[in-house]
Amino acid sequence: MAKKEYAFYPGCSSQKGASASNYLVSVESMCQTLDIKMTEIPDWNCCGASISYAEAGELPRHVMNARNFALAEQNLPERDIVATCAACWLGARESKERLEHSNVLLADTNTALKEAGLNLKVIPEVRHMVEVLIEDLGYAELASHVKKPLEGMKIAGYVGCQTNRPFGIAGESFENPMYLDKLIESVGAEATKYDQKVTCCGGALAFSEPDKAQAQIKDIIEAAYDSGAEMLVTPCPLCQANTEVYQGQINKKYGTKFNLPVLYYSQLMVLAYGGSAKDAGLNGQVIRARKLEEFAGK
């Protein structure tokens, strides 16, 4: 199979030493196994995320994404942009959709881009890593690389919001998307069924409205435990961080005893493909995934 090449948009949280650095580590390792070549967009910038809406306004937000599009078009022509972060993917896709549907907005955007010496003609496809895995490779191909199936492990696939709504993964329902469960199954683990699969973790409001966000996170973790899950798996850095790092605070507030590891799908795949704990970025877990560490050591 020919090597697949993409313009990589890692996003702020997936840089070295940043909050989702373990995601980046595992994605790099996973792509190596799957023979996917990811070339970083040179000098890419922040997507703005959803939360910037009040200060940024409309056009500045789109312009930020447009700059990335223009850089990709200029330096990595005819490649799809692939984001690993759900929010980056959503922000970029939203800008692409708006710019493609409004000539006024596109003209204004180019006026602004000119200030940075750029110009946007064609907006590349903007895709999430998961789409590349499912659509360009397929579940069978993903499973074919498995050397050590994660047999007997019970994992709750936590899809959350932004890979699911409003765009979603093609062919999936908003209310019960199955792609994450299928990814879990393709590496030999068992996907548990629980009713908080697409509940919001609170997103950025974990900072500004911690009580509301933590109430939601509690519902998610509780339901995952009830389904018999030993860990949670997500495709989104903010989901990962929110559901992992606030468990201690929730325990204090609600008297719960949560200690549920939260992983990225890519970490599971690296381990199933025979990678080490380090390749999978397991050292980046705040709540250690001991079962996986043991598994990697075998």
Minimum distance from residue 288 beta carbon to other proteins (Å): 9
Residues 5, 32, 39, 51: which binds other proteins (CB under 8 A)? 51
Residues of this chain, 93-112, that bind other proteins according to CB under 8 A: 104, 108-109, 111-112
Instruction: Give, as ranges, the residues between 206 and 245 that touch other proteins (CB under 8 A).
Output: 207-209, 211-213, 215-216, 245
Which residue's structure tokens are 């509780």? 222
The window from 150-158, 225-233, 267-275, 278-286 that contacts other proteins (CB under 8 A) reads 278-286
**Cα–Cα distances in Å, from 188 out to 94, 109, 153, 277, 291?**
35, 47, 8, 18, 15
In this structure, which amino acid lies at residue 263?
A: L
Contact 4, 225 (CB under 8 A): no
Q: How deeply is 121 buried, as exposed, middle or buried, from its count of CB atoms within 10 A (0-12, 13-18, 19+)? A: exposed
* Residue 70, helix vs strand vs coil: helix
Helices (H), the chain: 21-34, 53-56, 59-75, 86-101, 103-114, 129-131, 139-144, 179-186, 205-208, 210-226, 237-245, 247-254, 265-272, 290-297
Of the two residues 144 and 176, which places its CB atom closer to other proteins in the complex? 176
> With CB under 8 A as the contact rule, which of the stretches 28-36, 39-47, 77-85, 264-272 interacts with other proteins?
39-47
**Shortest Å, Cβ 205 to other proteins:** 5
Residues 164 to 193 in contact with other proteins, rule: CB under 8 A: 165-166, 168, 174
137 binds other proteins (CB under 8 A): no
Assess 43 for contact with other proteins (CB under 8 A).
yes
163 binds other proteins (CB under 8 A): no
CB-nearer residue toward other proteins: 78 or 209: 209
**Distance between CA atoms of 5 and 36, rounded to whole angstroms?**
6
The nearest distance, CB 147 to other proteins, in angstroms, is 27
